[in-house]
């Protein structure tokens, strides 16, 4: 059976004013992010439009990245893609012992025990967002395709709320002050409502949502809290609504908390 595509609500790219104020380094990183999110090749106009930059500036940034090997140019088609240096650096980073690598066997156990897709979300403090950094697919034929390493808002979905509820007051306020896109269920952002939900999540120690980041799905997540570092992410399950049994909620939560404890112990 074909897996339904996860209907995610992506975070907004850097605004033109932020790019203007942050200089060449931030602009170059934004170009790399645009290429990565495109999933293939891009043209100068595509970069220009995505980042609200003049065509000449987009072209100059692509040339700078090409000179360092982070981007490759197809001279015939005038298109750009990830370069060998970018791939080399990425592979070196991924080969190191990291939280996603440590989480892989734990997520696999969690998916096998629960029969559902298990996810590691990591907090991105600089952008006030989160990304899914590792997953283990459900063994069931009906499951979701999940976009990895895409910035997603913290105010929607169990994975985000399980992070946001345990951040400090200033960090929460910074997130609330960002422009918020709709949820997958077309819900409008209301700060008072979100704060009420965060109080509930903090009190019970987990988040449970329906149809927010993923249409027609139930999400359950617990925070990953590291001593001295605060909240670094969350562990969660994504369950098709048609398969979710409320009576199993406590079992899911207990499994997630046990898995989070194992992961934090391995991470030291």
- 224 has which bridge partners? 233
Q: Which of 90, 91, 151, 92 is nearest to 121 (CA)?
A: 151
Tell me the per-residue pLDDT of 235-267, one tens digit each, with 9 for 90 and over: 999 999 999 999 999 999 999 999 999 999 888
Q: Is the pLDDT of residue 36 over 80?
A: yes
Both tokens assigned to 65: 């990245």
User: Which of the following CATH numbers is that of domain 97-267: 3.30.450.40, 3.40.605.10, 2.40.30.10, 3.20.20.140?
Assistant: 3.30.450.40
- 123 has which bridge partners? 130
pTM of the predicted model as reported, rounded to 2 decimal places: 0.69
Both tokens assigned to 60: 């100059």
Tell me the per-residue pLDDT of 151-183, one tens digit each, with 9 for 90 and over: 889 998 999 999 999 998 889 988 888 776 555
First to last CA, the chain: 40
Domain spanning 16-92 has what CATH number?
1.10.10.10
Tell me the per-residue pLDDT of 180-235, one tens digit each, with 9 for 90 and over: 655 555 566 778 888 999 999 999 999 999 988 777 899 999 999 987 668 999 99
User: Which of the residue ranges 2-6, 115-119, 127-131 would you say has the lowest mean pLDDT?
Assistant: 2-6
Which contacts (CB < 8 Å, 24+ apart) does range 46-52 have? Answer: 47/80, 50/13, 51/13, 51/14, 51/16, 51/19, 51/27, 52/15, 52/16, 52/19
pLDDT value at residue 93:
63
Q: Is the pLDDT of residue 7 over 50?
A: no
The CATH 1.10.10.10 domain(s) of the chain lie at 16-92
Average pLDDT over residues 49-73: 91
Q: Is the pLDDT of residue 58 over 70?
A: yes
Q: Which residue has the higher pLDDT, 96 or 83?
A: 83
The CATH 3.30.450.40 domain(s) of the chain lie at 97-267
């Amino acid at each position: 059976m074909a897996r339904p595509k996860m209907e995610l609500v992506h975070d907004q790219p850097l605004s033109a004013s932020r790019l203007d104020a942050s200089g060449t380094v931030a602009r170059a990183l934004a170009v790399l992010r645009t290429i990565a999110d495109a999933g293939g090749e891009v043209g100068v106009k595509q970069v220009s439009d995505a980042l609200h930059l003049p065509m000449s500036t987009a072209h100059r940034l692509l040339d700078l990245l090409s000179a360092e090997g982070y981007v490759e140019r197809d001279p015939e088609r005038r298109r750009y893609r990830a370069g060998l240096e970018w791939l080399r650096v990425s592979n070196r980073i991924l080969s190191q012992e990291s939280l996603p690598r440590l989480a892989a066997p734990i997520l696999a156990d969690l998916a096998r025990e629960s029969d559902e897709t298990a996810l590691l979300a990591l907090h991105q403090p600089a952008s006030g967002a989160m990304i899914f950094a590792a997953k283990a697919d459900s063994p069931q034929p009906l499951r979701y395709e999940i976009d990895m390493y895409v910035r997603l808002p913290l105010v929607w979905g169990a994975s985000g709320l399980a992070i946001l509820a345990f951040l400090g007051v200033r960090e929460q306020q910074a997130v609330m002050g960002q422009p918020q896109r709709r949820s997958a269920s077309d819900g409008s952002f209301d700060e008072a409502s979100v704060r009420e939900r965060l109080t509930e999540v903090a009190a019970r120690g987990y988040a449970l949502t329906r149809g927010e980041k993923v249409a027609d799905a139930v999400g359950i997540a617990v925070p990953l809290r590291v001593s001295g570092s605060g909240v670094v992410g969350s562990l969660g399950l994504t369950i098709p609504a048609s398969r979710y049994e409320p009576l199993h909620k406590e079992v899911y939560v207990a499994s997630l908390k046990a898995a989070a404890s194992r992961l934090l112990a391995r991470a030291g």
